[in-house]
Structure 1
Amino acid sequence: MLFADSGLSDASISVLLAVWSLTAVVFEVPSGAIADRFSRRSCLVASGLLHAAAYASWVLFPSFWGFAAGFVLWGLGGTLTSGAFEALLYDGLAVNGDAELYGRLNARVDTITLVAQVPVAVLATFLFSVGGYDLAGWVSVAMCLVSSVIALRFPEPPRGSSEDHAGYLDTLRTGLREAVPIKRAVLAVALVYAIDAFEEYFTLLVQDWHVPTVWVPLATTGVPLLGAAGAALGGRLRFRGWVLFASGLVLIAAAVLAVPAAIVLLGLFYGLYRFVLVQVETELQHRIESEARATVTSVAAIGSEFVAFAIYGLWVLGAAFAVGVLVLVVALVIWRR
């Protein structure tokens, strides 16, 4: 819905998304170290405030530069969440001796997040039809502020006394050093998570498949539901490479059909993809041993941003078909038996 009525070209939209990714590339790892050195909960609170400012920028300045400023703010907010949330969740379980439950709980969080997109889509359709883009935008600002208030109530377990004396640069170096021996897990998360950048184009894709703008949110409600189903099943199959490969084939089939009915295939692609994403994220968290957990996770995230640039370029060159081919390549790289 953000781009649906913006009047921007596909090339301009890709440039804006690249600005978002570039912001993440610059601040991803430093923000992870901030979460490890200081407070992960505070990072989540600040993230909500920055996201609220981003929406305000998009509403107040609906031009290329207004969108660009908003994406810088959105990128900064995203870097504060990335790594910090996973570390807060994992350490909260580990302090009670329940670290093995992380995969199940992480899948549940992903499932709830995706299912929540359905009522949000219904509300967005209502707000857009009643008050247009401005009303939908200001309600989004309010919701981001509410998320910061909720984050204030998250419990944050105490960490080791050695970290109390570690400086910011020491924390940063610790996280970067640990990412090296577990580089295969880091690479898997980087490659797979990057594919999620394609979600930003779902509304444009559905519009290209001849769905009226006002009905786009409702027409795509099944996509996050199938994504939620995939996330909920994450970790139950032995091999993940062939699942991701299958999702690429499904996306290519949807791109070839290019009709409203292909939204079903788009949802199936997203469900298979989410299944794999939960698996690789869980494996990475289990392999991190130091207290610089958010920093290591951010290293994987920054890798995903570089791959996301390819997603943006492929959208301009070949839309969904080209992205489907990239998914096949990623699946072959991470395929393990």
Structure 2
Amino acid sequence: MGYKENIWKLYVYRFFYSLIPAYVIERIFWEERGMTIEMVVYTEIIFAITVVLLEVPTGIMADMWGRKRMIMLSAILECVMFLILIFAMEFWHFAAAIFLAGIARSASSGSENALLYDSLLEHGQEQDFEKYLGRLNVCDFTAIMIGALCGSLLANSYRFEVNYWISFFSMVGSVCVSVSLVEPPIKSKLNVSIGFKEYVKTSILFFKNHPGIWIVVLSSMVTGAAINFIDEFWQLYLNRLEIPVIYFGLFSAFIMLVRLPGSMIVLSIKNRFKYRTIILSILAIFALGFLYVSFMKNVTGLVAIFLICLASGIMEPITTGYLHHHIQSSMRATIDSFQSLGLNTILILSGLGFGYFSSTYDVFGGYGFIACICIVFFCYFLITSKEKIK
């Protein structure tokens, strides 16, 4: 069977999935269609709630009925989403599109990693999971950078709808690639008729019985939520530093570019240092980086942002790899989805604090709040991870 072919197919799938020139002009396009900032916030809440509610159920469905099906479903829903947005004129059009995007995110989050790991497992290469996951992230970041740069040029010469049509056809490419994936066998000691409740109970017991894995996964949740505030609000930060908008596209591409080295050398780092040492170092970079960004209101703060992005490129494959090396195939997508569920839950809670401090002390105050979270979690990880993480 062509399980090994799944690897390069996933590379192509992720490339098309992330080659979205619409994102670079998303907020302007929405504003043209009558979407106010308040309305945009409502859609983001819809997205977050959808992901939180469906993350674990879709992970369970992936383990029960196949990861390939969920990956296909994700790409198809994204196609429908872009079609809706192209013709959207009212709030409920945008709300419906983002609702579908939330389902799509939930369907693919655990399924891709599970399919990749089990494909490697069939060839005895599961120990190289971090390396291949890092390369998958490289495809992701590269496509995002190309989409951002091309999207800016297209938006300057054509109507914004052109960006969305190109994004739609790029997603069609993902659908075509997903159809060709081969479902690897799911090695399970569980009965195939196991119900949803048993999956959830088993997953919770897994984390309870493996506190070291839980701490590692929690560190991924915290840093994943923190980096989201860089990805979503760097425009405001650059605006406060009075950096011209013409440089925004380059900055967007660069914060993706600096994540590539970490994803490429993650296997080498894993072989040289202990997991605990790596994660502690990354948490320290996040804590000090956000603290510097919040206090130093000048262009040197951009260096701190770049360092945070560099560290995030290492964190995701390291923690995901640690998780998958310690779980069995039958629960792989389910438990991976618990990780995404926790990330989005932390994102919602930290978002409330970020919004409050940003409204009071501008975006610098918001980043100061994230710095406090990172500092507290660094201390927690330092104390609780000793003797629990190998």
Structure 1 length as normaliser, TM-score?
Answer: 0.88
Q: How do 1:1-337 and structure 2 match up within 5 A?
A: 1=24, 2-4=26-28, 6-7=30-31, 12-61=39-88, 63-160=90-187, 165-169=192-196, 170-182=198-210, 183-198=214-229, 199-213=231-245, 215-234=247-266, 236=269, 237-238=273-274, 239=277, 240-259=279-298, 262-317=301-356, 318=358, 319=363, 320-335=367-382, 336=385
Q: How many residue pairs get matched?
A: 337
Deviation at 1:90, TM superposition (A): 0.8
Q: 1:116 to 1:333 in 2, by over 3 A?
A: farther
AA matched with 2:280: G
Do the aligned residues in 2 keep the contact of 1:32 with 1:297 (CA within 8 Å)?
yes
The answer for the alignment partner of 2:21 in structure 1 is: none
What is the distance in 2 between the residues matched to 1:13 and 1:315?
17
Answer with 99-108 or 128-137: which moved more. Answer: 128-137
Q: Distance in 1 between matches of 2:90 and 2:374?
A: 32
Q: How far apart are 1:168 and its partner, in Å?
A: 4.4
Structure 1 position 217, deviation (Å): 2.1
CA displacement 1:137-156 (0-9 Å, x = unmatched):
22112111211111222232
Q: Which has the larger radius of gyration?
A: 2
User: 282-291 or 253-262, which moves further after superposition?
Assistant: 253-262
Query: Which digits, 9 at most, give the CA deviation of each residue in 1:262-282, with x for residues without a partner?
Result: 444322211112222222111
1:202-252 Cα distance to aligned partner (Å, 9 max, x none): 344434443455642223211001112222233514411232222232233
State the shift of 1:95 in Å. 1.6
Q: Contact (CA 8 Å) 2:354, 2:369: kept in 1 or not?
A: yes
1:307 aligns to what SS in structure 2?
helix
Q: CA deviation at 1:48?
A: 0.9
Change (3 A) 1:14 1:30: same
Q: Tell me how far apart the structure 1 counterparts of residues 97 and 246 of structure 2 sit (CA, whole Å).
A: 23
Q: Distance in 1 between matches of 2:368 and 2:169?
A: 37
Residue type of the partner of 1:232?
A: M
CA distance in 2, matches of 1:126, 1:191: 35
My pick for the range that moved more, 89-98 or 193-202, is: 193-202
Gaps of 5+ in 2: 1-23
The DSSP-based 3-state class of the residue aligned with 2:259 is helix
- What is the identity, as a one-letter code, of the residue corresponding to 2:60? A
Question: Higher mean Cα deviation, 31-40 or 183-192?
Answer: 183-192
Q: CA separation of 1:9/1:161 partners in 2, compared to 1, >3 Å: closer, same or farther? A: closer
SS in structure 2 opposite 1:3?
Answer: helix
Q: C-alpha separation between the residues in 1 aligned to 2:70 and 2:232?
A: 24
CA deviations over 1:274-330 (Å, ceiling 9, x no partner) = 222222111111111251110011112111111011342234222333333333333
Distance of aligned partners of 1:110 and 1:211 in 2 relative to their CA distance in 1, 3 Å threshold: same
The residue identity in structure 2 corresponding to 1:303 is: G
> Once superposed, what is the RMSD of the aligned Cα atoms?
2.7
The amino acid that maps onto 1:248 is A
Please give the alpha-carbon distance, in whole angstroms, between the structure 2 residues aligned to 1:330 and 1:13.
30
Aligned-pair distance for 1:43?
A: 0.7
Q: Is the 8 A contact 1:129 1:214 kept in 2?
A: no
Residues 220 and 190 (structure 1), Cα distance of their counterparts in 2 relative to 1, 3 Å cut? closer
- How far did residue 25 of structure 1 move? 0.8
For the residue of structure 1 that corresponds to 2:330, the secondary structure is coil
Which residue of structure 1 aligns with residue 17 of structure 2? Answer: none
8 Å Cα contact 2:59-2:107 kept in structure 1? yes
Greater CA deviation, 202-211 or 284-293? Answer: 202-211
- TM-score, with structure 2 as normaliser: 0.77
